[in-house]
Every structure is written in structure tokens, then in C-alpha cells.
Amino acid sequence: MSKGIVLDPTVGGAKSSLSNDRPHASFGLGSLRGRVLGIRGDELWRSWDWVVNEWRSALESEGARVVFWRSAGNRAGKEAERVDRELQAFLDEVDVVVSGLANCGSCTMWTVHDALAGADRGMPAVAVATEQFRGLAQALTARGGHPDLPLQILPYPLETQDEPDVRVVARSAYADLLGTLGVAR
């Protein structure tokens, strides 16, 4: 018989104010009218595409122009230079960043990385994570120098739900996203 170690991506410990289950400082955007809101995705999570589709329509009805960027490709080596240039161009185009989806270890790392890239520029940024990866996302935001970077938490598992159910989740989380952004309604 041999022993093994089971790693848990939730990091454990007490929940912090970085998540949307307790109030945190919002950005105080007031209105989305005239703002360019950037939503970052990747090539992995169809559930995130459904969430984005719901949020995009709602954000546009609030007067925002929504720009979507999909991080696609290898984030190491030569291809990483191209992806980083695309990220920088995306950030040049937007006023606010909503980065998702933190739904696995590497996805969480890159979701937070890209949200931090916006925060490092002084723009409002939110990382979107599923509940299972909340702790890892919190640890990464702290390590990245922005321990107060807000997280929008969605239920886990999200990816295994049917599209209509994910769209319900997205619509129910939308008001909380607006609260995080400090949008007056």
C-alpha cells in the first residue's frame, strides 16, 4: 500500500471580503452609459460563453459598449508574446475589465493574471471564478499585489449544467456584478 497526497484547489481557510458574499469596496462607476466594458474569456468554457452572452445583452442595455477578448493559444514561449500583445491591445480599448472564467487551476491563474493586468493600469477589474476555485483566486490576487481585487463567484459545477440553467445563473448574478462595479440603478 502506498500513500498519496490529494491537492485541493480551494486553498481552505476563512472566507474573505474579496468575494461577493460580503460587501466590499466597489468601483463607484455610477453609470455604464458611455463606458467600454471588456470581458475576457478563453477557449475552454462554453458555460462562460453563455454567461457572457447574457451579461453582454444586459450591459449593453445599460448603455455600455462591450468588447470581448478570447485568450487563445499557448501562454508560454513565442506564442505567449502574441497573446500578451493581444491582452495589452484589449486593455488599451476598455475602461473596465471582467475576466473569467476561473474554473480550473491554470484557468484561475490566467483569469486572475489578466484581471490584475487591468488593475495594474488603475482600471476597475473583476475576476470571475466558480465557487470551487474561490480560494485559489483569492490567493493569486493577494500574491499579485491586489488583495482587494473583487471576485464575482458563480456556482460550481457550472460547466456540467445545461445551457438554459447556466443562463439563469448568469441572470441571477448580474445584479451582484453591477453592485461590484458600483453601478447605480
Question: Confidence class of residue 1 from pLDDT cuts 50, 70 and 90?
Answer: low
Mean pLDDT over 48-53 rounds to: 98
Is the predicted pLDDT of residue 9 greater than 90, yes or no?
Answer: no
> What global pTM score does this model have?
0.86
Report the alpha-carbon distance of residue 134 to residue 113 in Å, rounded.
15
Question: Confidence class of residue 13 from pLDDT cuts 50, 70 and 90?
Answer: very low
Mean pLDDT over 117-136 rounds to: 97
Is the predicted pLDDT of residue 30 greater than 80, yes or no?
Answer: yes
Average pLDDT, the chain: 88
Q: What residues have CB less than 8 Å from 158, skipping those under 6 apart?
A: 45, 47, 48, 51, 101, 103, 130, 166, 169
Domains in the chain, please, with CATH? 36-181 (3.40.50.2300)
Q: What residues have CB less than 8 Å from 34, skipping those under 6 apart?
A: 63, 64
> What is the per-residue pLDDT across 59-71, written as a single tens digit (0 to 9) for each?
999 999 999 999 9
Question: Confidence class of residue 41 from pLDDT cuts 50, 70 and 90?
Answer: very high
Among 141, 139, 146, residue whose Cα is nearest residue 13 = 139
> What is the per-residue pLDDT across 85-111, written as a single tens digit (0 to 9) for each?
999 999 999 999 999 999 999 999 999
